[in-house]
Amino acid sequence: MALDFTFTEEQEFFRQTVKDTVNRLIVPKVAELDEKEEFPLGLWKGFSALGYLGLRHEEKYGGMATDTISQMIFYEELARGSCGFAMSVIMQILMGTYFIARFGNEGIKQRILVPAIKGEKIGTICFTEDQSGSDLGGTRTLATKVNGGWRINGRKQWITNGPIAEFSTVMATVDPKLGLKGLNFYLVEKKTSDRDGFAVGQRLHKLGSRCSETSELVFDNVFIPDENFLGEEVGKGVQYAGEILNEVRVMTAMNALSIAKGAMDDARGYAKNRMAFGNPISKYQLIREKFAKFWAWYEPAWNYAYKCAWMIQNKVPCTNECMMAKYHATEMCMFAVEEAMRIYGGNAFCTEYPPQRYWRDAKFLLYGGGTHEVLCDYLGRIYCKD
């Protein structure tokens, strides 16, 4: 019996525990978090105390060292609450700390990873620049080797947790002419002895996911010591980034599944109560069709995303599959949030009702882990390869 679609008892229990936590701590605050557009430090502290920030890290640093499927369960349940808060939390768990856990020496792990897992230090990852988003080969932030360390010069854009971060994993090039082959990761800490030149730039006001703070970060001749070079060899940054891309894509799929389900479940409640022409609108076939199409799209997207989680966990090569999981779940989500907006009629246009928030939150899923054009370009090339 090789094909097994069941979760373990531990995974089911974990899902229920996360669901209860999200229902208790986050769900009641969702509208307020969206409206205030501020990072909720109190919520962050309460949430961190439960240990979830160490989900994928070793127990000796305070982590939970859970399996990949449990991590994906967590991402799915978390995004059912506030998508913005989920962005900040997932940045900390996955992208913000991965390279520190992978390459940091013991001193760095004690100084950064241990407090990061406790929620005491907040982190970021910095790829995107003014002229380089999908195309990392266009990175201009420069890392220059100097005696005892590196000098970093450049600006990063769209950095989740940027305004509140204590540490950043920054992608920079040793020479822009080298394209992808010149890229590396560097750890920039806010509280090093020489923090001159580091500044938070313009804060961005976002359409959705508004309680995760986002900004530019500016590095003006910032010195970092040699130990903050995160890698074994110069020029391997893209290869290292590739190590977490599958996880990032399936995580994004989980967020998409969650937002889509939330939007359509709320819309179902609305449709059963909203009267038109003498009936609840849920009685009309054209309204039911929206739920039917969503459901028929959602279930395979959900199953496929967990298949990819299983493949990652079992170290089965799955680059193409994870791209497809992200693409499929996110396109399904775009459909669901749009249909939810229509089911609410004019009320959808009022911030008092939830569908506009789901619609706004969902849009950010289109960019991280590869835009859909970039994913399709890659998949199309692979499919048509001779």
Q: How far apart are CA 253 and CA 125, in angstroms?
A: 20
Choose between 351 and 371: whose C-beta lies nearer to ligand FAD. 371
Choose between 119 and 368: whose C-beta lies nearer to ligand FAD. 368
CA 89 to chain centre: 8
Contacts with ligand FAD, residue ranges (CB under 6 A): 124-128, 133-134, 158-160, 206, 209, 214, 364, 367-368, 371, 373-374, 377
Residues 208 and 357: beta-carbon distance below 8 Å = yes
Choose between 84 and 262: whose C-beta lies nearer to ligand FAD. 84
- Angle of helix 9-21 relative to helix 68-79, nearest 10 degrees? 30
Shortest approach of ligand FAD to residue 364 CB, angstroms?
Answer: 4
Q: How far apart are CA 168 and CA 186, in angstroms?
A: 8
Shortest approach of ligand FAD to residue 135 CB, angstroms?
Answer: 6
- Angle of helix 285-313 relative to helix 237-273, nearest 10 degrees? 150
Q: Which residue is nearest to ligand FAD (CB)?
A: 133
Shortest approach of ligand FAD to residue 2 CB, angstroms?
Answer: 37
Choose between 200 and 374: whose C-beta lies nearer to ligand FAD. 374
Q: Which residue carries 């999200």 as its tokens?
A: 22
Q: Phi first, then psi: what are they for 183, rounded to 5°?
A: -90, 145
The partner residues of 124 in beta bridges, in order of sequence, read 168
Shortest approach of ligand FAD to residue 229 CB, angstroms?
Answer: 19
Closest C-alpha among 193, 347, 372, 204 to residue 281:
347
Choose between 120 and 377: whose C-beta lies nearer to ligand FAD. 377
Choose between 7 and 367: whose C-beta lies nearer to ligand FAD. 367
Shortest approach of ligand FAD to residue 124 CB, angstroms?
Answer: 6
Q: How far is CA 158 from CA 192, 208, 218, 219, 220, in A?
A: 23, 13, 12, 15, 18
Shortest approach of ligand FAD to residue 244 CB, angstroms?
Answer: 13
Choose between 206 and 326: whose C-beta lies nearer to ligand FAD. 206
Q: How far is CA 306 from CA 11, 154, 334, in A?
A: 12, 38, 20
Q: How far apart are CA 104 and CA 125, in angstroms?
A: 15
